[in-house]
Amino acid sequence: MTRLSFRSVFVSDVHLGLADCQAGYLLDFLRSIQCDCLYLVGDIVDLENMARRPFWHASHGAVVAEILGMAARGTRVLYIPGNHDAALRRLAGQRIAGVEFALDAVHVGADGRRYRVSHGDEYDGGGSTPPWLVALGDRLQGAICAANRCCNALLRRCGLRYRPLSIMLKRRIAAAWRFIQSFEARVAAQARADGFDGHICGHIHYARMHDHDGVLYLNDGDWVEHCTSLVEHRDGTLELLHWTERRLSLARRDAGIAPGVELPAAA
């Protein structure tokens, strides 16, 4: 099988160990690509959920095996733990089974642009968002994921394709959309202050590519609701991909694009 070849691939919010995890789609994606560097940008294994209600499907183990196989075949695999696998942050600086662990990273694109890479949960407490609202949002996220799972199970029985129903809800609920925009603005502002060309993160389960006056905000999405990843092509072009029965390009930033050019939002 001919695999799609990328320079770098960014995957986050897989939540292995959670019933809502779309491990089958991710496994198909990983088996369809080859890359020089695979960034695991947090919440790959949902240790937090597993401590409350243990769950592990065979497909979840297959994803882990495929990632380790990629590392064995020469792909650099960098694991940046998030809030749901925060216990793994104590492994920062270590290399286990070919997988490097770090708290964050700096990615230099093929076009020379510098991006900070982190999970993104460090931006939850910024701005005017009170902690109770963040906690409520986390619980609502769980309810949305459960609804997404049930609806798509019904769609599959009817012979219909997967639909990321939750993304439509997030766009239509004003408070959710304001939270997404506020989070995005904080991430971009910090990237600008630190001298980066952009920031690559996950955490909020909303894939997006947006230019903030020359600073690029890149969210690679998740594999619970939307089944998306960020990929970097050999020339430095960045692209958001959706991968289920349908394989779609959601947004793209060509290498060398001028700062300030508006980019399409993920669909």
114 falls in which pLDDT band (50, 70, 90)?
very high
pLDDT, position 265: 43
252 falls in which pLDDT band (50, 70, 90)?
very high
101 — phi, psi (to 5°)? Answer: -115, 135
261 falls in which pLDDT band (50, 70, 90)?
very low
Tell me the C-alpha distance between 92 and 119, whole Å. 14
266 falls in which pLDDT band (50, 70, 90)?
very low
| Residue recorded with tokens 């960020």 | 230
**CB neighbours of 50 closer than 8 A, spacing ≥ 6?**
17, 56
Number of H helices, E strands in the chain: 6, 13
First to last CA, the chain: 29
| Residue recorded with tokens 């949960």 | 121
DSSP label at residue 24? H
149 falls in which pLDDT band (50, 70, 90)?
low
Cα–Cα distances (Å) from 109 to 113, 145, 201, in that order, read 5, 33, 15
164 — phi, psi (to 5°)? Answer: -75, 80
- Evaluate if residue 123 carries a pLDDT over 90: yes
Tell me the C-alpha distance between 20 and 106, whole Å. 31
Q: Are strands 198-201 and 215-219 parallel, antiparallel or unpaired?
A: parallel
Specify the higher pLDDT residue, 152 or 41: 41
Q: Are strands 114-117 and 105-108 parallel, antiparallel or unpaired?
A: antiparallel
Q: Give the homologous superfamily in CATH for domain 7-253.
A: Metallo-dependent phosphatases (3.60.21.10)
Q: Which two tokens stand for residue 215?
A: 């600073």
Question: DSSP letters along 222-235, please?
Answer: -SSSS-EEEEE-TT
- The reported pTM is 0.85
Tell me the C-alpha distance between 199 and 111, whole Å. 15
pLDDT, position 259: 44
Tell me the residue type at 97: A
Q: In this predicted model, what pLDDT tens digit does every residue of 43-69 receive, in sequence order?
A: 999 999 999 989 999 999 999 999 999
